[in-house]
């Protein structure tokens, strides 16, 4: 046969940003070999794509599947949202390098920073590694539905080198310890790490509420891994900082100076997280301008941005809700069914409402969970640009009821399964205008989905689906972009940034990573609660509508939304080059 797979009659959006065109795609093995009018050619399998849009598989460079990848092969919900390649180990957190004495504390960091159930990690992690190269070897022994790459995470590296001192971000490493961080980072990149990642945000705390151990790492410390990337001549530097989330101009100036110093020293692509925060709702513009300035100086510095609000999912069965920080709520136990039954008791209701009105909240999220004007019922499909006039606060006011009393009843709807959406970031103005501004600015990347993390709090691994569905049709205020531009952002542009040059484009010599999409039907229903992590841990899963088929390396992995069980993916070691 001429081809193993022949896809006929597709509307091809090839990932480069050029206009879509009608054509066929011929696949042999795991690569695309022909694109165009392939009439008369024969294949072992022919797929009729009439009426469907064909895109490259999406490349999500910001996920946290580091633990899940050691026990799970599907890597959902990213894989069910058209993603065929992911980068993990972002924000400086991960599980390698790791000495056995630090296993529990590394789990605590991921549990606190990324809301991944510690019990699931404790039961699921195989720990058949200590060094970072050994971690990559462990991943390389597994197969996945998608391809995975991993960063060297600063938090794990710091304690591996410094021991218990490294757990405290105020403790400075010695020159010898910095040299060892440089050596181990170089070793990791040469073994196939994507690069190096770190966190510099107060929001990242472990399960005991302690600030992440990389929070205030000085420039001299970060210089070690930066030098390693320069010596290797490959790899990227990724970080998250408080620059977008503070009113302190001095802090911003210091952080931006550090970012510039690191970018100059490593000489490699660098990206940092950028969102609109309620604390500093116009700060993002300053950061976009700064990235543009650095680009003008010849530095490859980019902002990772999100295509919608970063949304907290609120409910009685999820991690957060407006009553979870109250003393009486904490007596209800972990069983979600029993908890809902207890909340129906009138006495419990009275106690909780009384505690809430007295302000007896004791949780880092307490202030956030009192922003009732930012809470919205989740519709089907989910409205990711909800009208502030439809908030829970507005509903309560319209009904003439106290907002807490009203909210209590709302959360008990659907037998306690009612979910609310709260855009905690990127929604300061009650619309997505700022998001559009960030998405369309120069020197930005589509990222920040955090797939595999925030299991009971956030379900943003569906970002690629939102990017196509929302922005190709237009926002409430009429902002939109062509489908070709949107697909380019989640394929070739992301892939090139991290050095994966063999994917993200529908062209001969590139990986046969392909989505067939019914754009008219593309939509996201509300997430569902699944208790399928190890030890019965909870995670939010969001199954989109409109994906007709996804192929990874020429193998069908999803057919009309159903996983086929195929696992043609694996570990990506370092840069990837096209076959041609």
- Give residue 353's domain range: 314-423
Indicate whether 250 pLDDT > 90.
yes
Supply 94's token pair: 């991960």
Considering 407, 423, 439, which residue would you say is the last residue of a domain? 423
| Helix, strand, coil shares, percent, the chain, to 5 | 35, 20, 40
Q: pLDDT by residue (tens digit) across 328-344?
A: 999 998 888 899 999 99
Domain co-membership, 258 together with 320:
no
Is 554 a domain residue?
A: no
Give the distance from CA 498 to its chain's centroid: 15
Is 565 a domain residue?
A: no
> What proportion of the chain, given as a percentage, has pLDDT over 90?
93
Domain co-membership, 180 together with 262:
yes
Considering 497, 522, 539, which residue would you say is the last residue of a domain? 497
Nearest partner of 67 among 468, 539, 549, judged by Cα: 539
Q: How confident is the model at residue 248 (pLDDT cuts 50, 70, 90)?
A: very high
Is 180 a domain residue?
A: yes
Domain co-membership, 143 together with 194:
yes
Indicate whether 101 pLDDT > 90.
yes
Nearest partner of 475 among 525, 518, 440, 516, judged by Cα: 440
pTM: predicted TM-score of the whole model, two decimal places: 0.97
Instruction: Report DSSP state, residue 318.
Output: S
pLDDT at 410: 97
Indicate whether 365 pLDDT > 90.
no
Domain co-membership, 232 together with 156:
yes
Domain co-membership, 169 together with 101:
yes
Average pLDDT value over all residues in the chain: 96
pLDDT at 553: 98
> What proportion of the chain, given as a percentage, has pLDDT over 70?
100
Is 17 a domain residue?
A: no
User: Into how many domains does the chain fold?
Assistant: 2
Rounded mean pLDDT of 272-284? Answer: 97
Q: pLDDT by residue (tens digit) across 467-506?
A: 999 999 999 999 999 999 999 999 999 999 999 999 999 9
Considering 472, 497, 522, which residue would you say is the last residue of a domain? 497
> Cis peptide leading into 223, omega within 30 of 0?
no
Supply 219's token pair: 């420039």
Rounded mean pLDDT of 161-182? Answer: 97
CATH of the domain at 166: 3.20.20.140
Domain co-membership, 282 together with 380:
no
Is 124 a domain residue?
A: yes
Domain co-membership, 258 together with 233:
yes
Domain co-membership, 236 together with 295:
yes
Domain co-membership, 196 together with 81:
yes
CA distance linking residue 62 with residue 70, whole number of Å: 18
Domain co-membership, 136 together with 265:
yes
* Non-local CB neighbours of 233 within 8 Å, separated by 6+ positions: none
The H or E element spanning position 283 is: helix 283-296
pLDDT at 367: 86
Rounded mean pLDDT of 461-470? Answer: 98
Is 137 a domain residue?
A: yes
CA distance linking residue 356 with residue 336, whole number of Å: 21
Indicate whether 373 pLDDT > 80.
yes
Q: pLDDT by residue (tens digit) across 187-231?
A: 999 999 999 999 999 999 998 899 999 999 999 999 999 999 999
Indicate whether 5 pLDDT > 80.
yes
Domain co-membership, 300 together with 331:
no
Is 542 a domain residue?
A: no
Phi-psi region of 51 (alpha: psi -120 to 50; beta: other; left: phi over 0): left
Is 558 a domain residue?
A: no
Domain co-membership, 153 together with 195:
yes
């Amino acid at each position: 046969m001429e081809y193993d797979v022949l896809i006929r009659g597709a509307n091809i959006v090839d990932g480069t940003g050029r206009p879509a065109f009608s054509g066929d795609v011929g696949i042999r093995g795991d690569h695309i070999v022909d694109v165009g009018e392939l009439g008369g050619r024969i294949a072992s399998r022919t797929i009729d794509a009439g009426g469907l849009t064909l895109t490259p598989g999406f490349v999500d460079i910001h996920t946290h599947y580091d633990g899940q990848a050691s026990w799970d092969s599907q890597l959902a919900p990213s894989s069910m949202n058209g993603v065929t390649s992911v980068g993990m180990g972002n924000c400086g957190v991960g599980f390698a390098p790791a000495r056995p004495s630090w296993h529990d504390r590394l789990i605590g960091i991921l549990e606190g920073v990324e809301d991944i159930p510690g019990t699931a990690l404790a039961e699921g992690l195989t720990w058949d590694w200590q060094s970072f190269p050994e971690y990559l070897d462990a991943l390389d022994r597994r197969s996945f539905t998608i391809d995975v790459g991993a960063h060297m995470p600063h938090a794990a590296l710091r304690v591996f080198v410094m021991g218990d001192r490294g757990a405290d971000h105020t403790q400075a490493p010695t020159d010898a310890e910095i040299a060892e961080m440089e050596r181990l980072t170089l070793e990791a990149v040469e073994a196939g790490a994507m690069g190096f990642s770190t966190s510099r945000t107060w929001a990242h705390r472990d399960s005991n509420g302690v600030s992440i151990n990389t929070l205030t790492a000085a420039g001299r410390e970060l210089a070690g891994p930066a030098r390693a990337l320069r010596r290797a001549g490959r790899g990227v530097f990724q970080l998250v900082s408080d620059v977008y989330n503070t009113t302190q101009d001095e802090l911003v100036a210091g952080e931006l100076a550090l970012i510039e110093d690191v970018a100059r020293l490593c000489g490699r692509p660098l990206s940092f997280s950028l969102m609109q925060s309620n604390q500093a709702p116009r700060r993002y513009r300053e950061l976009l301008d700064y990235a543009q300035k650095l680009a003008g100086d010849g530095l490859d510095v980019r902002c990772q941005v999100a295509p919608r609000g970063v949304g907290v999912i609120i409910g009685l069965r999820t991690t957060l809700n407006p009553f979870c920080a109250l003393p009486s709520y904490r007596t209800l136990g972990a069983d979600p069914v029993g908890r809902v039954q207890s909340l129906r008791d009138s006495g419990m209701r009275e106690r909780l409402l009384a505690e809430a009105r007295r302000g007896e909240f004791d949780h880092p999220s307490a202030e956030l969970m009192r922003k009732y004007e930012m809470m919205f019922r989740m519709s089907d499909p989910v409205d990711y640009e909800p009208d502030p006039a439809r908030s829970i606060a507005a509903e309560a006011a319209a009904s003439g009821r106290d907002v807490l009393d009203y909210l209590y009843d709302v959360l008990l709807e659907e037998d306690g399964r009612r979910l609310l959406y709260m855009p905690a970031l990127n929604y300061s103005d009650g619309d997505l205008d700022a998001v559009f501004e960030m998405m369309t600015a120069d020197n930005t990347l589509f990222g920040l989905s955090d797939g595999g993390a925030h299991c009971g709090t956030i379900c943003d691994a569906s970002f690629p689906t939102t990017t196509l569905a929302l922005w190709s049709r237009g926002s409430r205020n009429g902002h939109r972009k062509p489908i070709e531009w949107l697909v380019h952002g989640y394929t070739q542009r992301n892939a090139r940034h991290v050095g994966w040059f063999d994917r993200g484009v529908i062209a001969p010599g590139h990986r046969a990573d392909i989505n067939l999409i019914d754009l008219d039907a593309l939509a996201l229903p509300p997430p569902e609660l699944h208790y399928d992590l190890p030890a019965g841990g909870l995670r939010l899963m969001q199954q989109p509508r409109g994906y007709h088929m996804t192929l990874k390396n020429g193998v069908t992995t999803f057919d009309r939304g159903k996983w086929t069980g195929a696992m043609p993916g694996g570990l990506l070691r370092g840069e990837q080059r096209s076959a041609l």
